[in-house]
Amino acid sequence: MLRTDRTLTTRNTSNVVNFRRKDGASDALRRIALEHEPALRRFVGARLSAHADRADQEDVVQETFLRVARQEGVEEKLSRSLDSVRSYLFSIATNVIRDNYRKAVTRQKHDDLTRHVPTALGVENSAEEIVSTQEQLGFVKAAIMKLRPDCRDAFVLNRFEGLSYREVADTMNVSVSMVEKHIMRALSDIRRRVDQGLVDR
Amino acid sequence: MTERADDSVADSSNQAERRAQWFVMRLYSGDMTASDESELYRWLAEDPGHRRAYEHLVQLRDVSGDLAGDKDIAALTRNALGARTRTTFDRRWVVGLAAAVFLVAITGFLAKVLVTSDGAQIFETALGDRQTFALRDGSSVTLNSGSRILVDFDSLGRRILLDFGEIFLEVAKDPERTLTIRAGDHVVAALGTKFSVHLAGDRLEIAVAAGRVAVTDDNIRYPRQTEFLARFEAGSLILNAGSVATFEQHRQTVKEDSIEEVERLQSWRSGRVRFEDQRLMEVISEVNRYSPVKVLIEDSTIADLRISAVLNLDQVEMAGQVELLLSSLEDIHPIKVVRHPDRFVLIADRS
């Protein structure tokens, strides 16, 4: 039957519409939920890709909004332009996905059942590959440092400053499509250099 | 990239790389469309190499996030930000807003339809307005005065978020995609049906004209696909045709076999709101949903008077219709209407 208790467990509060009940940030949260939930769901779906259970997708969406609600100064963050709010939501969702993945890896190591763990991406990575993440990070950093200056600016502004492509474009005084090209080029160069680094070691 | 165009293996792998770069770039753009999404899924399914290329890039981009505290990276970021000026901030705000949401149509004078950059639609009616919209799946939705919904349909499900106000739905059958409405703390799943959902503050009212609906306040796992529906129904309240359910502050009431009440509650669809032996305060709060001029009761002694009346909605001059209704109340009941330019005040008529 219909449950009427309102125990505030994580699960029960994690739906976006429940932000109605909270004071303060509720209006801003309700608005962003209305405006961004479909995009966020799409983003999470594409990140988890076709293998993941739809319930996982829903969990990540819920957890993202929950984390946003807990953030300090959330009102200020959410009063920015629509695309930067979205960019911010995506970065939080990415963290949620990665945290879930790390938890799965830890569990897997703990269980030590197999050398293979299902990743958040839906593929399998060998434990060896996971261990090399720290090493990989070194190569990624080196690769970013070596990027062509315009590609590097676009990439770091988007990745580390959380700017949307539109904001990056305005900051760099170029068009959005140029920023998109820079981002693609940056991804390509980082991949090439990291692969090279891993081969050369 | 490669000059060796004759090397077809390297060429197709480069093509896959470029496609993967494009998808990852789109993924983080914030305006990936439903068609981008299905194209991505299709492309990923085409070849295991596509999936590897895509996931490798996503993973690299993820890993790079761990450099956020790195001082060299921080210096690069500061440097890149250096070009930013105050004027670009203002421009960015305006352009960003314009890019994300654009006005597609203005129907009549009052209703608005917005399409968000990800393809979801927002329908909104102003006070006193009423509009019916055909949805992509063949369903239709009618918004009562002062209502707003977000419609998000994709291959996985049909989701409507009732932000505020009242809607009447005629739902087209689609066994693959359940239609759900989220309203406040509840989720309503249509099981092929005609019904209305009215959200006013914390109070939710559902009236079922045909078919059945399932309601739950466990809004975490609402059904998106048929396979979830059985699970959803098991934990839900099922309402059959002729039922009126009200949820308010942890209380729920369900009236079954009340088709007349369902019709009365949905009478706004045909341009009239009928009141039958209802308390004056209920009538007035309903009138205020449509009236551009607020009506207030400033005398508790009249609040519980039983009233039967009709409010016409299809008139151009809504304020005039409200005044007409109030005048008829004055004639029949011991009520006096004090008319101010911005509000009508009801007091007891002691003469």
Listed by number, the residues of chain B in 93-112 with a beta carbon closer than 8 Å to a beta carbon of chain A are: 93, 95-97, 99-101
Distances (CA, A) of B180 to A158, B197, B224, B249, B313: 35, 11, 8, 22, 29
Q: Do B29 and A165 touch (CB under 8 A)?
A: yes
Q: Are residues B133 and B254 in the same domain?
A: yes
Tokens describing residue B181: 């409405």
| Closest CB from A3, A35, A167 relative to B92 | A167
Among A108, A126, A144, residue at a domain's last position: A126
Domain count along chain A = 2
Q: Do B41 and A50 touch (CB under 8 A)?
A: yes
- Whether the predicted pLDDT of B340 surpasses 60: yes
Q: Are residues B344 and B313 in the same domain?
A: yes
In which domain, by residue range, is A54 found?
A: 1-126
User: Taking all residues of chain B, what is their mean pLDDT, rounded to a whole number?
Assistant: 80
pLDDT digits (tens, 9 = 90+) for B155-194: 667 888 888 899 999 999 887 788 889 887 788 888 778 9
Q: Do A184 and B88 touch (CB under 8 A)?
A: no
Q: Are residues B163 and B20 in the same domain?
A: no
**Is B228 contained in some domain?**
yes
Among B261, B290, B317, residue at a domain's last position: B261
Q: Which of A191, A136, A179 is nearest to A155 (CA)?
A: A179
Note the ipTM here.
0.73
In which domain, by residue range, is B317 found?
A: 271-348
Contacts of A188 in chain B (CB under 8 A): 1, 17-18, 21
Per-residue confidence band for A22, with pLDDT thresholds at 50, 70 and 90:
very low
Q: Which residue of A has its CA nearest to B182?
A: A17
Read off the CATH number of the domain in which B217 is found.
2.60.120.1440
Q: What value does the mean pLDDT take over residues A89-116? A: 74
Q: Are residues B118 and B241 in the same domain?
A: yes
Q: How far, in Å, CA of A16 to CA of A32, rounded?
A: 9
Q: What value does the mean pLDDT take over residues A194-201? A: 78
| Closest CB from B68, B83, B225 relative to A173 | B83
Distances (CA, A) of B104 to A129, B30, B53, B107, B115: 49, 20, 37, 10, 7
> What pLDDT score was predicted for residue A179?
94
- Whether the predicted pLDDT of B90 surpasses 80: no
Chain A contact for B201, CB < 8 A? no
**Is B311 contained in some domain?**
yes
Only one residue has tokens 């080196």, namely A142
Q: Are residues A10 and A56 in the same domain?
A: yes
Q: Are residues A21 and A115 in the same domain?
A: yes
How many other C-beta atoms are found inside a 10 Å radius of the C-beta of residue B87? 9
Domain count along chain B = 3
Contacts of B236 in chain A (CB under 8 A): 2
Q: How far, in Å, CA of B346 to CA of B351, rounded?
A: 14
Read off the CATH number of the domain in which B315 is found.
3.55.50.30
Q: Are residues A121 and A66 in the same domain?
A: yes
Q: Are residues B119 and B255 in the same domain?
A: yes
Q: Are residues A122 and A136 in the same domain?
A: no
Distances (CA, A) of B231 to A137, B159, B227, B236: 43, 18, 8, 9
Q: Are residues A168 and A150 in the same domain?
A: yes
Chain A contact for B136, CB < 8 A? no
- Whether the predicted pLDDT of A145 surpasses 80: yes
**Is B99 contained in some domain?**
no
**Is B23 contained in some domain?**
yes
d(CA A191, nearest CA chain B) in Å: 7
User: Taking all residues of chain A, what is their mean pLDDT, rounded to a whole number?
Assistant: 73
- Whether the predicted pLDDT of B85 surpasses 50: no
**Is B275 contained in some domain?**
yes
Q: How far, in Å, CA of A162 to CA of A90, rounded?
A: 9
Q: Which helix (H) or strand (E) holds A188?
A: helix A176-200
Q: How many contacts does A have with B, using Cβ atoms within 8 A?
A: 223
Chain A contact for B83, CB < 8 A? yes
**Is B334 contained in some domain?**
yes
Q: Are residues A121 and A187 in the same domain?
A: no
| Closest CB from A11, A42, A94 relative to B32 | A42
Q: Do B30 and A90 touch (CB under 8 A)?
A: yes
Q: Are residues A112 and A182 in the same domain?
A: no
Q: Are residues A167 and A77 in the same domain?
A: no
Q: Are residues A75 and A58 in the same domain?
A: yes
- Whether the predicted pLDDT of B108 surpasses 60: no
Q: What value does the mean pLDDT take over residues B25-31? A: 84
Q: Are residues A7 and A70 in the same domain?
A: yes
Among A75, A92, A126, residue at a domain's last position: A126
Q: How far does CA A38 lie from the centroid of its chain?
A: 15
Q: How far, in Å, CA of B336 to CA of B120, rounded?
A: 48
Q: Are residues B133 and B200 in the same domain?
A: yes
In three-state secondary structure terms, A126 is: strand
Among B229, B261, B293, residue at a domain's last position: B261
Read off the CATH number of the domain in which A182 is found.
1.10.10.10
Tokens describing residue B111: 């209703």
Per-residue confidence band for B198, with pLDDT thresholds at 50, 70 and 90:
very high
Among B238, B261, B284, residue at a domain's last position: B261
Q: Are residues A191 and A104 in the same domain?
A: no
Q: Which of B211, B240, B235, B212 is nearest to B223 (CA)?
A: B235
Name every residue whose Cβ is closer than 8 Å to that of residue A5 and which is 6 or more positions away in sequence: none
> What pLDDT score was predicted for residue A198?
75
> What pLDDT score was predicted for residue A82?
67
Q: Are residues A37 and A93 in the same domain?
A: yes
Q: Which of B269, B266, B331, B335 is nearest to B297 (CA)?
A: B335
Q: Which of B289, B325, B77, B13 is nearest to B164 (CA)?
A: B289
**Is B50 contained in some domain?**
yes
**Is B22 contained in some domain?**
yes
